[in-house]
Structure 1
Amino acid sequence: MDTLNILYLVGALLIFASIMASTLSARLGVPLLLLFLAVGMLAGEQGILGIEFSQYNIANFVGQAALACILLDGGLRTSFKSFRVGLKPAVTLATWGVLATVMVLGVFVTWLLDVDWRFGLLMAAIVGSTDAAAVFSLLRNGGVKLNDRVQATLELESGANDPLAILLVTGLIALNVDPAGQTVFGFLGLLLQQLSFGLGMGLLFGYLLSRLLPKVHLAEGMYAILILSAGLSVFAATNLIGGSGFLAVYLTGVLIGNHKVRSTEHVMRVMDSFAWLSQAVLFVVLGLLVTPSNVINVWHYSVAIAAFMILVARPIAVYTSVKPFKFKDREIGFISWVGLRGAVPITLAILPVMAGIDGAFMLFDIAFGVVVLSLILQGTTIPIMANLFKVRIPTNKDPKEEHEVWVSDKASITLYEFEVQSGAFAIGRHPKGISNRVSPD
């Protein structure tokens, strides 16, 4: 019983410390996700508490569940308008963009580490995709408003590129373990299966759940639990039949979030808490898992790979992906810069360790270093780069808060809260004139 209570106490204190650390995020200009990682590392075997944690299976379990919850919440907040303006470039980035990044970076990693090309490509695939948790967190909570097309492209890319990244890592692990048993057609068939099953399950159950919610009458606090449990069920069921659970749960969230009912506003607020809790738990666990001294031993590799990825591989992939869609060069530059890495690469780096591949622990340590560098270099400079590339939109006309009040099961009114600052368009205006200028998405 004492052991159980100690686990409860330590776990709760770590999460408490992570949340309290969030108050420093805005003051220091440090991404919140990085502070979560720091809390985990400080509590780890070489930190203050000295907790020895090397359970990669448990970390993988936590990572999968947390990422599913984060993607579900991201889907709930993605409007159909985003799909209209950003779907084509986002899909191209999530497919060709990931492949191009892995190929270009893979060549560099193979040369840098002086390893077999299969091992080099595996390292590149682990860090080759942007991270939904990092992108959603930093873009939506970073105080920077972007034009709709750039914002939609970045968010949809981060939500849609996980399936290909996971498939590439899985396929390359198999290629490293059993090179003779792998074929190109087998890989392409697996890719088609993952995407088609993920797409089908997400659309089917997203539609069914969006139709079910208006007909179910529950206590307010139960709706979010219902949606979360349903989303995780879709995620697990899709994985069981060989599809991409991450794609399915994201699409399920999109369809539910765009079918507003009386419970929608409350669900969004509760799901926001679930998503933050998932991020905190995930990054603290990943921080516990890493051994800082091992990361420091390969820091030069992490710096070289992060620099090449940010300055060469990612720009090439983005330019070749979105230039045909008539993006401006400054928009392409910003999209290239916001190729944030986060929990996904670290979670993917666990898979080679579990598969027993030679050098897997080095891959994990390098991937961890790349993620930390990405969060520091890219995450802290988003406002600066948004101004530099001139993609930032002034927010003095936007409401500080929006509150939806439902007057019946099918009708609602929206209340807007404005903070009238110098230069705000609300100065000297009647509230009726303000309401005519603002419309909900």
Structure 2
Amino acid sequence: MMTVSLDIALLVIGSLLLTTVIAGTLTSRFGLPALIGFLGLGMLAGVDGPGGMRFDDYVLTQGVGVACLIFILFSGGMDTRWSSVRPMVRPALVLATFGVAISALVIALAAVMLLDFDWFQGFLLGSVIASTDAAAVFAILRSTGIDMSGQVPALIELESGTNDPMAIFMVGAALLFIAQPGASPLALVPDFFGQMALGTGIGLAIGWLLPELLKRKFYESSGLAFVISIAAALIGYGLAEVIGGNGFLAAYVAGLVAGNRVYDARRIISTFQDGLAWLGQVVMFLTLGLLVAPSNLLDVVTPGLGITFVLMFVARPLSVFVCLAPFRSLDWRAKLFVSWAGLRGAVPIVLATFPMVAGVPGAFTIFNIVFFVVLLSSVIQGPSIKWVATRLGIGVADPANPALEAAGRS
């Protein structure tokens, strides 16, 4: 077996990280999400590309993905201004729960009809791909020039930060139903509310404690403040998971609370966590790109196109219009934009590793379909977000149409 020295390994890792960032920057200049460049370079370095690196460790990929998502969600929470998103809490939470469930059920039905999946496999695929991706949404919205103080962008941002727990819960439920077909769905209801309550509680506690600790002069004026912020994100996630809560929700809520309190170190901590979040995106997408062999995607082109079409034009719009129907302040233009801005990214791909690790029948096909859908969603929806926002008058001032301006702003 060929061995590589530590020096060469570190050189290769550093070179891959730098090249991945450059690739992401280049794709962004062409109007594509940076994740396309990150994933693309990973695939080029992988077994089917000129790099020829063979990597098929789904357990490691799952661990890397979870670790990176913790910091992405924590940073996303820190950068979210509560004063802007507070009016959108109720619609965002409805979308983050019932909306995810509706999307999953529609995709499940499509998978049964189009892919000849059984209901459990279909529900698993739907659950994996139902949630929007926080990293993709945060990056796209903040790079398009859309007015982030508007209520519609705030709704999308808050939803993307809070809908992962619902998707993760449903993936776990689907795996349980596959392993134990006789399990009762009603028995999972108390578990769901328990996970959400514990995750929120831990997040609130960590988010309050972090600024209190950083107010101490010794910490706020030294690099130890950065170490403490890393510890806060990890403890929030880990503690919530250990006691039966949802760790991802805890990480996001902790960042949200810490980012909206007043203390001297807040700005530098936010900047540092933003850097960690970008590092997390680069590492996560590069790892996922290495894991996927492009030749395997050829077998799922047709089913992938079908699922992507259903997701973009049926499942997501249906879930948005149904869930936001009670909220009269959001007109059809706002709902249409929210439907189109439901970007998929790393979260569905990371969730798709769970069936692989669990050894579920058809897991390899599900993984490749999810990867294909994420790529297509990013290529189609990402570059068109600003154009759609402009056409619908969302997040931009339109003096000729006060009604549209009101819909796009708080």
Q: Which residue of the other structure, out of 37, 40, 43, is the alignment partner of 2:42?
A: 40
Deviation at 1:27, TM superposition (A): 2.4
- CA distances 1:261-288 after superposition (whole Å, capped 9, x unpaired): 1112211221111111010000000000
Taking the TM superposition and a 5 Å limit, the aligned residue runs for 1:4-403 are 4-146=6-148, 148-180=150-182, 182-218=183-219, 219-326=221-328, 327-393=330-396
Deviation at 1:211, TM superposition (A): 2.2
Contact 1:131 1:340 in 2 (8 A): yes
**Gap runs ≥5 in structure 2:** 399-410
- CA distances 1:213-269 after superposition (whole Å, capped 9, x unpaired): 212523443322211221111101111111100000111111111112111221122
Percent sequence identity is 39
| Larger deviation, residues 105-114 vs 224-233 | 224-233
For 1:114 and 1:13, the matched residues in 2 are separated by 43
**Gap runs ≥5 in structure 1:** 396-441
Contact 1:43 1:51 in 2 (8 A): yes
- CA distances 1:36-60 after superposition (whole Å, capped 9, x unpaired): 0001000000011100000111101
| Larger deviation, residues 319-328 vs 330-339 | 319-328
Counterpart amino acid of 1:34? I
3-state secondary structure, aligned to 2:326: helix
Cα distance change on mapping 1:92 and 1:252 into 2, 3 Å: same
Q: Which position in structure 1 is the counterpart of 2:405?
A: none
Deviation at 1:2, TM superposition (A): 3.6
- CA distances 1:51-81 after superposition (whole Å, capped 9, x unpaired): 0000111101110010000000001011221
TM-score, with structure 1 as normaliser: 0.87
Deviation at 1:392, TM superposition (A): 3.1
Contact 1:210 1:255 in 2 (8 A): no
For 1:64 and 1:341, the matched residues in 2 are separated by 16
Contact 2:148 2:154 in 1 (8 A): no
Contact 2:24 2:36 in 1 (8 A): no
Find the structure with the greater CA-based Rg: 1
For 2:112 and 2:294, the matched residues in 1 are separated by 24
Counterpart amino acid of 1:196? A
Q: CA-atom RMSD, angstroms? A: 1.6
Q: Which position in structure 2 is the counterpart of 1:424?
A: none
For 2:376 and 2:189, the matched residues in 1 are separated by 33
Counterpart amino acid of 2:13? G
For 1:279 and 1:137, the matched residues in 2 are separated by 10
For 2:306 and 2:392, the matched residues in 1 are separated by 25
Counterpart amino acid of 2:59? N
Contact 1:101 1:128 in 2 (8 A): yes
Contact 1:85 1:148 in 2 (8 A): no
TM-score, with structure 2 as normaliser: 0.93
- CA distances 1:374-426 after superposition (whole Å, capped 9, x unpaired): 1111111111111121113159xxxxxxxxxxxxxxxxxxxxxxxxxxxxxxx
3-state secondary structure, aligned to 1:358: coil
Contact 1:334 1:385 in 2 (8 A): yes
| Larger deviation, residues 34-43 vs 145-154 | 145-154
